[in-house]
């Protein structure tokens, strides 16, 4: 068990390093006619370690928040955390396996990227391992194009994004893709507006097939799929010219994104109610939004 936890934790940190490196590399390729001259000091992620719990309390883990406010990435956070302790009464009944014993251990990575160029999609990805008296993986990723034309399943960017996750799923289990894509569509939906948050991706939870290594390998594949496809999509779009009107449309769409995260997102609610790092949790909110 201990070795499995360490493997998972190390993977999430390794994936974080790869993603940050990929995003920092894209910052170097920003067209100066669109983004202005590159600053003398290259834009880099700023990493801030944090601890869960108050001073004097027993160790409850913590994490590292990595945020970059760049040119291509107006705001992107790639956070890892490894936390443990006991669930409060409220959560014991709600988290699998926690009714018998409130102790838990959780490690994961969480990414939200808000690009400056309205043609380049925003995206979210997270994967995690959770252990109570049971042990499972969960996570997923979804793409959030900011402009109407891109918000269609038949757009080439959507197809490329879905294709990467389909390949990761199919390698693990032929039944996964259909199930996890639908789960994503159902989850990232704004009922009050009767509209999806983006064009989807995959979402999975409580993955415990009985073969821990297979579930871990799948979770690694999901991370790698995202790492291979998302920076590619950003690279393709980041140096396309944009208009003020497109920037406005992006700000409206970002408002929808904020609505989803604050009204419905379980991760946000869970994090805020279990003493998570507020700055890390709310770093998912867009750099700016309009409600006009």
Residues lying near a copy of itself in the complex (CB under 8 A): 69, 75, 191-193, 251, 255, 258-259, 262-263, 272, 278, 281-283, 285-292
Distances (CA, A) of 235 to 11, 190, 204, 286: 25, 29, 27, 20
Separation of alpha carbons 23 and 281, rounded Å: 20
Q: In angstroms, what is the minimal distance from the CB of 235 to a copy of itself?
A: 25
CA distance 91 to 8: 24
Chain-centroid distance, C-alpha 14: 15
Beta-carbon contacts of 166 under 8 Å, excluding residues fewer than 6 positions away, are 177, 181
Report, as residue numbers or ranges, the catalytic residues: 124
Distance CA 140, CA 215 (A): 13
Instruction: List b or e across 59-79, with b for residues whose CB sees 16 or more CB atoms inside 10 angstroms.
Output: eebbbbbbbbebbbbbbbbbb
Q: Which is nearer to a copy of itself, 193 or 241 (CB)?
A: 193
Task: Quote the least distance from Cβ 266 to a copy of itself, whole Å.
Answer: 13
> CB-side exposure of 215: number of CA atoms within 13 Å?
20
Looking at the Cβ atoms of 21 and 272, the one nearer to a copy of itself is 272
Encoding tokens for residue 80?
Answer: 């890892």
Q: Specify whether the CB–CB gap between 103 and 70 falls below 8 A.
A: no
- Shortest spacing between CB 278 and a copy of itself, in angstroms: 5
How distant is the alpha carbon of residue 159 from its chain centre?
A: 19
- Report the DSSP pairing between strands 103-115 and 189-190: unpaired
Taking the complex as a whole, the smallest distance from the CB of residue 291 to a copy of itself amounts, in Å, to 4
Minimum distance from residue 128 beta carbon to a copy of itself (Å): 21
CB of 193 to a copy of itself, least distance (A): 7
CB 140 within 8 A of CB 150: no
Sign of the dihedral defined by the CA atoms of residues 269, 272, 275, 281, in that order: positive
């Amino acid at each position: 068990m201990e070795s499995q936890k360490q493997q998972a934790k190390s993977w999430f940190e390794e994936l974080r390093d790869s993603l940050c490196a990929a995003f920092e590399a894209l910052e170097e390729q920003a067209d100066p006619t669109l983004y202005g001259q590159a600053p003398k000091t290259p834009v880099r992620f700023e990493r801030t370690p944090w601890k869960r719990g108050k001073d004097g309390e027993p160790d409850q883990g913590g994490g590292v928040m990595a945020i970059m406010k760049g040119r291509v990435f107006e705001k992107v956070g790639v956070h890892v955390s490894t936390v443990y302790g006991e669930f409060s009464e409220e959560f014991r009944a709600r988290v699998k396996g926690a009714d018998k014993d409130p102790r838990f251990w959780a490690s994961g990575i969480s990414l939200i990227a808000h690009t400056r160029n309205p043609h380049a999609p925003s995206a979210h990805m997270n994967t995690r391992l959770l252990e109570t008296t049971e042990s499972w993986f969960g996570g997923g990723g979804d793409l959030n194009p900011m402009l109407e034309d891109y918000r269609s399943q038949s757009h080439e960017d959507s197809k490329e994004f879905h294709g990467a996750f389909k390949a990761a799923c199919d390698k693990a289990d032929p039944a996964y893709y259909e199930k996890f894509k639908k789960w994503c569509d159902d989850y990232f939906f704004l009922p009050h507006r009767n509209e999806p948050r983006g064009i989807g991706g995959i979402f999975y939870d409580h993955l415990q097939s009985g073969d821990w290594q297979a579930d871990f390998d799948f979770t690694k594949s999901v991370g790698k799929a995202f790492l291979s496809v998302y920076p590619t999509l950003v690279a393709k779009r980041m140096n396309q010219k944009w208009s003020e009107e497109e920037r406005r449309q992006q700000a409206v769409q970002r408002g929808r994104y904020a609505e989803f995260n604050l009204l419905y997102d379980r991760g946000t609610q869970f994090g805020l109610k279990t003493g998570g790092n507020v700055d890390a949790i709310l770093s998912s909110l867009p750099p700016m939004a309009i409600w006009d």
